[in-house]
Amino acid sequence: MDAAAQRVQALREQIAQHSHLYYVLDDPRISDFDFDELLRELQQLEAQYPQLLTPQSPTQRVGATPSAAFATVRHPAPMLSLDNALVAADVEDFDRRVRERLGDVDAVHYVAEPKLDGLAVSIIYRDGQLLRAATRGDGEQGEDITANIRTLRCIPLSLSGAAPALLEARGEVYMPVAGFARLNEEQLRAGLKPFVNPRNAAAGSLRQLDPRITATRPLEMCFYALGALEGGPQLTTHSAALAALRGWGLRTSPWARQVLGLQGCLDYFATLQQQRPQLPYQIDGVVYKVDELALQERLGFVARAPRWAIAHKFPAEEAQTTVLAVDFQVGRTGALTPVARLEPVLVGGATVSNATLHNMDEIARKDIRVGDAVIVRRAGDVIPEVVRALPEHRPESAQVVVMPGLCPVCASPVERSEGQAVARCTGALRCRAQRHEAVRHYASRRALNIEGLGDAIIAQLIDADLLHSPADLYQLDSAVLASLPRMGEKSAQNLCAAIAVSKATTLPRFLYALGIAEVGEATAGALARQFGSLDLISTATAAQIEQTPDVGPVVAAHVRQFFDDPLNVQIVARLREAGVHWSEGLAAEGASLPLLGQTYVLTGTLPGLSRDEAKEMLEAAGAKVSGSVSKRTHAVVAGAEAGTKLAKAQELGITVLDEAGLRQLLGIAPAGA
Ligand code: I6G
């Protein structure tokens, strides 16, 4: 037993040392295989001598049981957000303000480091042991994600060296690009939706209630600040704080550098911008912080951001490539969207081989031809787009793009109504592409919310001739579902249950789920309130439909056309026969719409609400949520890292709300209440 205890101790020390070498110093000394061997030996000994097991053992990263919900926890000190600089002139202003406040000093020492595109997390170590980890939340309170954070191998469960009595370390949890690509391949193989980008994948992985799932995700963490420190060394600079974090075994950015003055910041920015495509993770800018802590203290804070730091964002990335072909994608409502197939090109760390061309008017306006050299742009989460053609490099063989007369999927005629930018396939649900999109839309979260019905399953069901419209979903049983390739019995049962649960819905959701052209959630809600019943909507004339607030002739015509198509009428009847039901009448929908007629824009990350949630709440109150700021915008709801939309709102003098303001406006409880 003594010998076993000694070996366990020695193994834990070796594992901690090699983790430190691997994750913190980026200097592995043994192979992954040998590392796993050490872990395996430790596991075996702990199984043999359970009395030697401790929660801090590296074998105990994954807790056994999923939790029902995340607890809310208060941060020892608020987690602030950073102001953004979008152009060099903003950094110049920042540096000038810093120097003026400090009494016109010549040049300030800053620490510059990459701004990782991930999620801010705070971790508390008490007496060197990992005690608690939390998301940023609203800055004051976050969610307790300790069980999930413990599964990240790069985060030590015990600190190295002389640990302080209390340490709150802050940093960014992110997913490296390679791990993200692997995860998405697995998602697709499993018939699940791929993640949009590494940031969303990291957020989704950290918000798992079952830490065993988080443990399978390739997450990493990079620390960038101290929140609280008790019983530790006296630190006088931010550089020293970063060095102390590293000393305790916490990873910090290998790119962090002390720079001098504005020019030092801008030179660093230019260097990092060049390195960006080669970095193994996504970054969206550079953070500059005044290095001297005493100066930071003198500068203090304005609103919720420090005056001594700023995030200098990279502009949207652009690159030159060639248009190989233009294909037409058929969407849910039959709209044909031209998509440029490009010679693959690296833009901002991702290979772009397709870009949207929006519609034919856009192609004509930009004069884009097949064979053209073009500039493509990729910014953050948005779909890459072709910015402009370079006619000076146009080859003689370049070809003008023509809209096909027949749908490329089902060969039905394509129609473009007068004055409309969009051409549509007239095949409706007879077109496989429209059928797929119709079912996907019907099952989407904000329509009938059928969990587990991913793209791959929809495609398999269509291939097997089992799905001609959403109504066929209710004819599926778990035996049929289980017979699909790669579908287990349990998943088939779960999907079957999810389909059954979807039968109870609301009229606005059902109307939205039908996927009528131009009928989004707000319009579906307005129609439900105006008419109160599906039968009244489906039999109303276009003129009557137009009486609905915010509904114009185009929408009214689409609604009428939808219910004039016998195929649609039959599908609706079959859905109702299958048991899809809702309560009709105004009371069922909660008639109060205080924000009717008002337009809101969401930007940045709200601490306690996802963008979808905020949008849903605003729309439920009758507001329209738009993607761009204009003079007609009623207010902009801005969260952390808000960008140009916030700047535009300020320029136009439009009201800006934070999450607390939004909650107050909607009369809902403050976050964490
Ligand atoms: O959101 C952030 C990203 C990176 C930060 C940050 C950072 O430093 C590299 N630093 C601070 C002080 C804050 N947010 C508030």
Express each pLDDT in 269-278 by its tens digit: 999 999 988 8
What is the 118 CA–ligand 1 centroid distance (Å)? 11
What is the best residue among 115, 121, 288 to mutate for testing ligand 1's pocket, by most ligand atoms within 8 Å of CB? 115
pLDDT band for position 670 (50/70/90)? low
Query: Can you give the pLDDT at residue 206?
Result: 93
Q: Could you tell me if the CB of 284 is within 6 A of ligand 1?
A: no
Cβ proximity of 505 and 581 under 8 Å: yes
Q: Does 305 sit in the ligand 1 pocket, CB within 6 Å?
A: no
**How far from 239 is each of 65, 169, 285, 490, 560, CA to CA, in Å?**
40, 14, 19, 52, 66
pLDDT at 586: 43
**Can you name the CATH fold of 428-502?**
DNA polymerase; domain 1 (1.10.150)
Confirm or reject: Cβ of 113 under 6 Å from ligand 1: yes
Distance from the alpha carbon of residue 646 to the mean position of ligand 1, in angstroms: 19
Check residue 445 and report its DSSP letter.
Answer: T
Pick the CATH number of 2-60 from 3.30.428.10, 1.10.287.610, 1.10.10.10, 3.40.640.10: 1.10.287.610
- φ and ψ at 329, to 5 degrees? -95, 140
pLDDT of residue 649: 83
pLDDT level of residue 317 (50, 70, 90 thresholds): confident
Instruction: Check residue 329 and give its pLDDT.
Output: 94
pLDDT in tens, 136-185: 988 888 999 999 999 999 999 999 999 999 999 999 999 999 999 999 89
To the nearest whole number, what is the mean pLDDT of the chain?
A: 89
Q: Which of 287, 289, 304, 313 to mutate to test the pocket of ligand 1 (most atoms within 8 A of CB)?
A: 287
Q: Which atom of ligand 1 is nearest to the CA of 309?
A: 12
pLDDT in the model for residue 589: 42
How far, in Å, from the CA of 636 to the mean position of ligand 1?
Answer: 23
Tell me what pLDDT residue 591 has: 46
Instruction: Collect all residues with Cβ–Cβ distance below 8 Å to 491 and sequence separation of at least 6.
Output: 452, 481
DSSP 3-state of 55: coil
Residue 586 alpha carbon to ligand 1 centre in Å: 47
Contacts of 6 (CB under 8 A, 6+ apart): none
At residue 337, the pLDDT reads 92
Architecture of domain 505-583: Orthogonal Bundle (1.10)
Cα→Cα distances 240→155, 225, 245, 594, Å: 20, 11, 9, 52
DSSP 229-249: EESS----BHHHHHHHHHHTT
Nearest CA-CA partner of 564 in 549, 542, 546: 542
Domain residue ranges in the chain: 2-60, 84-313, 318-400, 428-502, 505-583, 599-666
Tokens 């991930």 sit at which residue?
A: 118
User: What is the helix (H) or strand (E) element at residue 258, kind and residue range?
Assistant: strand 257-260
- By annotation, the residues acting in catalysis are 115
* Cβ 225 under 6 angstroms from ligand 1: yes
- Given pLDDT bands bounded at 50, 70 and 90, which one contains residue 531? confident
Portion of the chain with pLDDT greater than 90, in percent: 57
Give the DSSP per-residue string, 67-133.
-SSPPEEE-SS------EE-SHHHHHHHHHHHHHHTTS-S--EEEEEEEESSEEEEEEEETTEEEEE
From first CA to last CA, the distance across the chain in angstroms is 51
Is any ligand 1 atom within 6 A of the Cβ of residue 224? yes
Amino acid 447 reads: A
- Helix axes of 521-531 and 611-620: crossing angle, nearest 10 degrees: 20
pLDDT classification of 128: cutoffs 50, 70, 90: very high
Render pLDDT for 198-245 as a digit per residue (tens, 0 to 9): 888 999 999 888 899 999 999 999 999 999 999 999 999 999 999 999
**pTM of the predicted protein model:** 0.56
Q: Which of 70, 69, 76 is nearest to 124 (CA)?
A: 76
Give yes or no for residue 336 having a pLDDT over 70.
yes
Better pLDDT: 196 or 224 = 224
Atom of ligand 1 nearest to the CA of 641: 1
Is any atom of ligand 1 closer than 6 Å to the C-beta of 435? no
Region 361-384: what's the mean pLDDT?
A: 86
Q: What strands, in cross-sheet order, belong to the sheet with 599-603?
A: 624-626, 599-603, 635-638, 655-657
- On whether the 599-666 domain is CATH 3.40.50.10190, my answer is yes
Question: What angle (nearest 5°) sits at the alpha carbon of residue 173, between those of residues 352 and 642?
Answer: 65
At 277 the pLDDT is: 81
Tell me the two tokens of residue 654: 């439009």
pLDDT at 672 exceeding the cut of 60: no
pLDDT of residue 20: 86
Measured in Å, residue 311 CA sits from the centre of ligand 1 at 8
Cα of 81 to ligand 1 centre, how many Å? 7
Length of the chain: 673
551 CB near ligand 1 (under 6 Å): no
Q: How far is the CA of 82 from the centre of ligand 1 (A)?
A: 6
Using 50, 70 and 90 to split pLDDT, how confident is the model at 557?
very high
Q: Please identify, by atom number, the ligand 1 atom nearest to the C-alpha of residue 79.
A: 15
The class (CATH top level) of 84-313 is alpha beta
Residue nearest (by alpha carbon) to ligand 1 atom 4:
115
Query: How far, in Å, is the centroid of ligand 1 from the Cα of 113?
Result: 10
* In the predicted structure, residue 303 carries a pLDDT above the cut 80: no
Centre a 10 Å sphere on the Cβ of residue 406 and count the other Cβ atoms it contains: 13
Question: Domain 318-400 is in which class?
Answer: mainly beta
Secondary structure in 3-state letters for 348-412: CCEEEEEEECCCHHHHHHHCCEECCEEEEEECCCCCCEEEEECHHHCCCCCEECCCCCECCCCCC
CA distance 365 to 356: 14
pLDDT digits (tens, 9 = 90+) for 565-623: 999 999 999 999 999 998 764 434 444 566 766 788 998 888 888 888 788 778 777 77
What does the block give as tokens for 267?
């030179």
pLDDT score at 443: 95
Reply yes or no on whether the pLDDT at 39 is more than 80: yes
The CB density around residue 669, as the number of other CB atoms within 10 Å, is 8
Residue with more model confidence, 668 or 101: 101
pLDDT value, residue 614: 84
CA atoms within 13 A on the CB side of 101: 18
- Residue 640 Cβ inside 6 Å of ligand 1? The answer reads no
593 CA to middle of ligand 1, Å? Answer: 38
Whether 428-502 and 318-400 are alike in CATH topology: the answer is no
